[in-house]
Structure 1
């Protein structure tokens, strides 16, 4: 898979765990970018709220199961307050000040699928700023802190779609 494919195709981690998300609610694609996961989830029949600063690409090719919201996710005031989701998908995005809000936004039995860059990634390029890299074990500690049941976790080097250090988590909000 080349880098361009990675911008179009859903992450293998998201593909692996998307079916765990309960079908009856809304799924949040947080910092959705061009919408590769939004489109994948909509094709699976999920209703999706796709959120990013720029949702132009998704609005031009909109699926009937998709609601787009253009929001700044890095303001002090959290723009998604009081919303509830059956699943939350976050890839290649990290903003620590609001991270602990995610579990409270999940319905009981809801699934969090998180995949982003980790410490050590600087040797492979961007992101290299420590503010945008997870510390060792951080997603695992995050799940434990919020009493989430971990279905799968990795803190690894990957060479697909490009060399990187990543952490991946799939966790369920226990009832």
Structure 2
């Protein structure tokens, strides 16, 4: 069951693949449910949200940035992270920046509303709903580890969600990052 305090099941499912000691970015972090989860796993955290009250709720967790990423400059230009998390948020012009923010060996974990959502609840406007396959297209330069597009219950919602890895150059891969063996969740 999802509550405002519990982390996304999708994040919990894939977070074991984030390299130990990584810095994780949560875009549109809200009151910090994912920042708390990631910090509890031993990661440094960076949160960005346009709501000052939400950022204040995250005081002491890590680096918190109050910024309107839809109408202002991207506050993390030139920075990359071992994990980038985005849930229940979509601003299409930002998708390339989000993907570019994933460091080599890093993981993107994204889950947001998809077309069909308008039949069961909010959001209902097309600009806030992913089109079929849109998230896959946005992550074309990453190795997709998991992807879902469909209906979920509890609460009822249509979503697309992806876990995708920016692979290391071949010469670096064995020494710095590896995936669990096939058939194992690690």
Same fold by TM-score, threshold 0.5 exceeded? yes
Aligned-pair distance for 1:138?
1.0
* 1:153 counterpart residue number: 147
- 1:153/1:60 CA distance change after superposition, 3 Å: closer
Kept in 1, the 8 Å contact 2:149–2:161? The answer is yes
Give the count of matched residue pairs: 168
Indicate the residue corresponding to 2:122 in structure 1.
Answer: 126
Q: Which has the larger radius of gyration?
A: 2
Q: Is the 8 A contact 1:42 1:63 kept in 2?
A: no
Aligned equivalent of 1:19: 16
| Partner-residue secondary structure (3-state), 2:34 | helix
Structure 1 residue runs without a partner (length 5+): none
Tell which deviates more after alignment, 22-31 or 82-91: 22-31
2:112 to 112, 116, 134: 116
Using the alignment, how far apart are the partners of 1:68 and 1:25 within structure 2? 16
Name the residue aligned to 2:5: 8
1:55 deviates by 4.7
Counterpart of 2:43 in structure 1 is: 46
How far has the Cα of 1:139 moved from its partner? 1.1
* Alignment partners' CA distance in 2, 1:114 and 1:157: 16
Going from structure 1 to structure 2, the CA distance change for 1:61 and 1:53 (only over 3 Å counts) comes to: closer
Taking structure 2 as the reference length, what is the TM-score of the superposition?
A: 0.84
Paired residue secondary structure (1:7)? coil
> Shift of residue 94 of structure 1?
0.3
Aligned to 1:102: 98
- For the Cα contact (< 8 Å) 2:5–2:33, is it kept in 1? yes
Relative contact order (C-alpha < 8 Å, sep 6+): which is higher? 1
RMSD: 1.5
Higher mean displacement: 37-46 or 55-64 = 55-64
Q: TM-score, normalised by structure 1?
A: 0.90
Question: Could you tell me whether the CA contact under 8 Å between 2:118 and 2:125 is conserved in 1?
Answer: yes
Cα deviation code 1:55-108 (max 9, x no counterpart): 5345346445x2211111102522221111111000000000111112221110
- Unaligned 5+ runs, structure 2: 169-186
